[in-house]
């Protein structure tokens, strides 16, 4: 595939004030959590809630930006016109469904529901580019999870249990990134995992699956929520991946509890 010149790419990517504001809010929440001496205090709970929710929105923006940037580099100019390269969360599909609903799911049950969506002309791309395009978003979540867990492992565990609300919240945010990575890679119509698989399917199969795409993610979430065996197997796998980092599982659990501060 042919890529535009690098200089042009630099001009196309313009982080919006909305995105920068969300980043600032996440940092402010982290600072509030950091200054909390007692991890069960209201200051700790509020700080972790702000850090996790705003941090999750930042990760949604980066996830969708990755899809859009790959599409733009492959020649889809509509992604720039639609504002996808600005990382503005309000540009990624419907603000309520793309941002509001996932945040509610995190606040209620610690579940990283897939967030926004960018509309790209993927049918114009080669199968290889389509796979890269679909895999770019989950790759961002995976990288974020690794970076957060390395940060926690290097600095958090050597903090001698000081500033623990901050490290608990960061651990939960890393857990959410792992959840988003795995969830998005499950090859159900409508997920990125299906997008990676789709170019290998026959035309007839793709047409049949197109009818399921609008509801695929909702069906997947419903199964995870209402089938206890699937729910348990899924989250056991997520925690198994989380603990590979050496960060204790209960750090993430405490972060989830702090995020749901009203519980």
Is 61 within 8 Å of 22 (Cβ atoms)?
Answer: yes
Q: What sections of 93-202 are H helices per DSSP? A: 95, 101-109, 127-151, 164-185, 192-197
User: 99 burial class (0-12, 13-18, 19+ CB within 10 angstroms)?
Assistant: buried
Residues 6 or more apart whose CB falls under 8 angstroms from that of 119 comprise 78, 82, 93
Active-site position among 38, 64, 80, 198: 64
Measured CA to CA, the distance from residue 213 to residue 199 in angstroms comes to: 15
Q: Which two tokens stand for residue 236?
A: 């056991």
64 is catalytic: yes
Residues 6 or more apart whose CB falls under 8 angstroms from that of 181 comprise 138, 141, 142, 145
Cα-to-chain-centroid distance, residue 218: 17
Residue numbers annotated as active site: 64
């Amino acid at each position: 595939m042919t890529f535009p010149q690098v200089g042009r790419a630099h001009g196309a990517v313009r982080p919006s004030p909305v995105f920068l504001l969300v980043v600032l809010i996440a940092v402010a929440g982290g600072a509030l959590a950091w200054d909390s001496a007692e991890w069960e205090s209201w200051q700790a709970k509020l700080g972790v809630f702000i850090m996790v929710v705003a941090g999750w929105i930042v990760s949604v923006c980066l996830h969708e930006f990755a899809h859009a940037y790959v599409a733009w580099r492959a020649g889809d100019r509509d992604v720039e016109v639609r504002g996808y390269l600005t990382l503005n969360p309000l540009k990624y599909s419907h603000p309520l469904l793309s941002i509001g609903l996932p945040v509610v799911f995190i606040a209620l049950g610690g579940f990283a529901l897939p967030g926004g969506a960018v509309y790209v002309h993927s049918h114009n791309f080669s199968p290889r580019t389509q796979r890269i395009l679909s895999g770019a978003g989950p790759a961002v979540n995976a990288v974020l999870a690794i970076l957060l867990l390395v940060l926690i492992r290097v600095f958090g565990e050597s903090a001698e249990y000081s500033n623990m609300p901050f490290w608990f919240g960061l651990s939960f945010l890393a857990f959410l990134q792992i959840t988003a990575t795995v969830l998005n890679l499950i090859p159900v119509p409508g997920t990125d995992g299906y997008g990676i698989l789709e170019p290998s399917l026959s035309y007839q199969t793709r047409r049949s699956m197109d009818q399921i795409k609008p509801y695929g993610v909702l069906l997947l979430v419903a199964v995870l929520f209402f089938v206890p065996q699937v729910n348990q197997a899924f989250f056991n796998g997520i925690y198994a991946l989380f603990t590979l980092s050496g960060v204790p599982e209960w750090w993430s659990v405490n972060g989830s509890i702090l995020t749901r501060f009203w519980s």
